[in-house]
Structure formats: C-alpha cells, structure tokens
C-alpha cells in the first residue's frame, strides 16, 4: 500500500459507493479520460457525483462529468468513472 494512501479515506469512499448502490457487484470498470465522455452518452444507469465520494471531490475541468455511473454493458454490470 502506498504510504500516501489514507486507508480511512479509502474505506469512506467504498462506504459511500456501497451506500448508494448496496446490491452493486460490478465485473468491469471503465475510466474515461478527456474527450471520451461521448463514448457512454447513450448508457443508462444510476449516477453518483464525485463530490459525494470522499477523497474524489468535484471536477475542476469544464466539460468533465465528474460522476460515477453504474450501468450494464453487454449484460455485464459496469462502473464508469467520467472525469
């Protein structure tokens, strides 16, 4: 574990996501970089703003969604991190 990672902050982030989606069991995760927001424009799902997840805060870049999206891709439960 990195000496700069605060385990209590990580635990709080996990708890926030689990509180939002207690039954979630994603099998895949996608992290979108700048310019990739359109890749999931048609995805349907539940959203959690980064500001609701301890340690993430809100995005500082105009045009970035700043959200975690719980969705299904090809029948596979997936979490998508959007800038």
What is residue 50's three-state secondary structure?
helix
Confidence of residue 77 (pLDDT cuts 50, 70, 90): very high
Q: Which residue has the higher pLDDT, 59 or 79?
A: 79
Give me the phi and psi of 73, to 5 degrees please.
Answer: -125, 115
CA distance 69 to 4: 27
Residue 3 has pLDDT above 60, yes or no: yes
Mean pLDDT of 41-67: 85
Mean pLDDT of 54-75: 84
Residue 62 CA to chain centroid, in angstroms? 18
Mean pLDDT of 52-65: 80
State the pTM of this model: 0.83
């Amino acid at each position: 574990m990195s000496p700069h990672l605060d385990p209590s902050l990580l635990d709080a982030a996990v708890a926030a996501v689990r509180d939002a989606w207690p039954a979630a069991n994603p099998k895949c995760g996608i992290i979108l970089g700048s310019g990739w927001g359109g890749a999931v424009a048609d995805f349907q799902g539940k959203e959690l703003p980064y500001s609701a997840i301890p340690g993430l805060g809100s995005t500082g870049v105009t045009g970035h969604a700043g959200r975690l999206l719980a969705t299904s891709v090809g029948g596979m439960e997936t979490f998508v991190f959007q800038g």
